[in-house]
Chain A
């Protein structure tokens, strides 16, 4: 797309959307949000960038190819899901730290599960969409 307005807006939207996606990710434990929605918002940021700059320049923007995020996200989620088994508790039980960390607050294994989902969603959505883009080009 050649629209100069969209192109300029994307420069500002990309970081804002990424920040917003992290905000949604972290808020997800008690309020609406979480890894899935956060991941979708983050992928929208990259999709918008690829609309205006082309897929190849978006791929250069990312440190790894999006398909590489899929196993990384999966392993993070699966580990935090099954870690309680090591502690003799049923799978998916939330393990929490004893004392809240200043500023950040309480951290539990659920957070890492959500972060895993976040990366998984980004990886899957971008892999599918970029494959279609590249095929149609």
Chain B
């Protein structure tokens, strides 16, 4: 069904970014416009989700050029769920940034770039054209590179170079894959590709092309063995920036991987085994990395890598139950990971450091905030009935049905190590008495207590907001499961998607 409404989550962010460029140097106006925009887009995304969930797949043919010749934008349940979750995360980050980002960074254009980034994310989720997907990826990379270097400290530039180098490599693989794909099928529209690839006789060529995409998206999603850029770059920029990166950027890679694996390159035995291998090692290396890190943000970076493995594992098994599990994990992960980095930023405000050896005694100083943080931490660890628990149930069930005991073992190890590092962090940061200052280290100061009440609210309320969504994901898992099962059925039977884009008569 043609409905031009679906372009609004992209267009509003574009206009907000342009408006912010006109308001250059007015930092208060920047904050207000950014929060208002994120709020409006959240309302629009909720409406888009209810339209698609209660109705049909919506499409928009850009420039009125008919598919498969023009670029189409498609909103199926998968896309618009991710647009919705992105809008939640963007609202939280907007509010947190208003208090948590320094004035000098706002003067250098933090907020316009942030909105360009979210525009790129929404565009990547909504596009139905593989080359257009590449273009949105470029929008995301360029914006994230600016956000990462904003401030220009040496450590930041060093992290950004690694990030940029790996992401350009990923784009090159992706673009090469698109080139080959266009060469063998003559089309770039994803629905059209779905039909043409299935009809192609040379399966080896198709598999090799699929590998280009898996490598490209794999680097972006930070899977083994191509994840090392992530922990070495995510600890340098401000926490609000990393919250967007950690919550959403790697997940775009996962989204793209799910989209092409279900729509275009339906995995055969070889690809499934490859994905399984990647998943197991991603979980193991990520969790072992998290074990030894003593800086909160570095530890979280490794946990991102670890949990990406869970989703790849769900995709690798490629059954209805497994994909449902992976999707619920994806929803949970976007909310929790965004929140984790906001929390890391808050802890830095509270105690002046993110090194767990120097932290301590947060519970006695701030009991309410500590309990709030505990909800999020234990959602991440997957303690029932919080949100991290349900997807693992599905993944285990799928694993036992498919007899993938190695993957089950890896998921168990990954979950236990997550639990262990989270419990250790809780003990170190909140319960342990603060270490005696031996006079050598710099004095740690609490910059939170001196802030005005409105700033305090702006720092804490986004964490409350995202924690509430995490709680909803956990306690109302029934509803989330319904959404995930609906997406799974769309993925395993792509006929409605293809019919929506190309019409009934393709």
Contacts and interface: CB of A to CB of B under 8 A. Distances in A.
B62 interface: yes
B61 A90 contact: yes
Given A71-B22, A85-B4, A85-B7, A92 B15 contact: no
Contacts of B7: 82, 85, 90-91
A29 interface: no
B14 interface: yes
Contacts of B11: 78, 82, 85, 91
A100 interface: no
B21 A70 contact: yes
Given A71-B22, A90-B63, A90-B64, A78 B4 contact: no
Nearest to B61: A90
B361 to A, nearest CB: 47
B257 interface: no
A33 interface: no
A88 interface: yes
A78 to B, nearest CB: 6
Contacts of A18: none
A74 B21 contact: yes
Interface string B91-124: 0000000000000000000000000000000000
Contacts, number: 40
Nearest to B3: A90
A76 B377 CA distance: 46
Interface string B26-65: 0000000000000000000000000000000000111110
Interface string A60-82: 00000000001100110010001
A28 interface: no
A114 B129 CA distance: 23
Contact of A91 (B4, B15, B22): B4
Contacts of A90: 2, 4, 7, 60-64
Contacts of A54: none
Most B CB contacts (10 A, CB to CB) among A74, A91, A93, A94 go to A91
A89 interface: yes
Given A78-B15, A82-B11, A89 B64 contact: yes
Contacts of B15: 78, 82
Contacts of B18: 71, 74-75, 78
B30 to A, nearest CB: 13
Q: Which DSSP category, helix, strand, loop or mixed, fits chain B's interface?
A: helix
Nearest to B64: A93
Contacts of A93: 63-64
A81 B287 CA distance: 46
Interface string B418-453: 000000000000000000000000000000000000
Contacts of B2: 90
B436 to A, nearest CB: 47
B108 to A, nearest CB: 12
Contact of B4 (A74, A75, A88, A94): A88
A78 B60 CA distance: 17
Nearest to B59: A90
A85 B8 CA distance: 10
A125 to B, nearest CB: 16
Nearest to B10: A91
Most B CB contacts (10 A, CB to CB) among A71, A78, A88 go to A71
Interface string A117-133: 00000000000000000
A91 B21 contact: no
B40 to A, nearest CB: 15
Interface string B216-260: 000000000000000000000000000000000000000000000
A92 to B, nearest CB: 4
B21 A71 contact: yes
A64 to B, nearest CB: 13
Interface string A88-122: 11111110000000000000000000000000000
Contacts of A74: 18, 21
A70 B63 CA distance: 24
A17 to B, nearest CB: 27
A92 B7 CA distance: 11
Contacts of A75: 18, 22
Given A90-B4, A92-B63, A78 B21 contact: no
Given A70-B21, A71-B22, A74-B21, A91 B62 contact: yes
Contacts of B22: 71, 75
Nearest to A89: B64
Interface in B183-209: none
A49 B21 CA distance: 28
A122 B11 CA distance: 24
B63 A78 contact: no
Contacts of A70: 21
Contacts of B60: 90-91
A78 B14 CA distance: 8
A83 B60 CA distance: 15
Nearest to A74: B18
Return the 10 tightest CB-CB contacts between A and B, nearest first. Answer: A71-B21, A92-B63, A93-B64, A92-B62, A74-B18, A90-B60, A71-B22, A75-B18, A91-B7, A90-B61
25 contacts: A70-B21, A71-B18, A71-B22, A74-B18, A78-B11, A78-B15, A82-B11, A82-B15, A85-B4, A85-B7, A90-B2, A90-B4, A90-B7, A90-B60, A90-B61, A90-B62, A90-B63, A90-B64, A91-B7, A91-B11, A91-B62, A92-B62, A92-B63, A93-B63, A94-B63
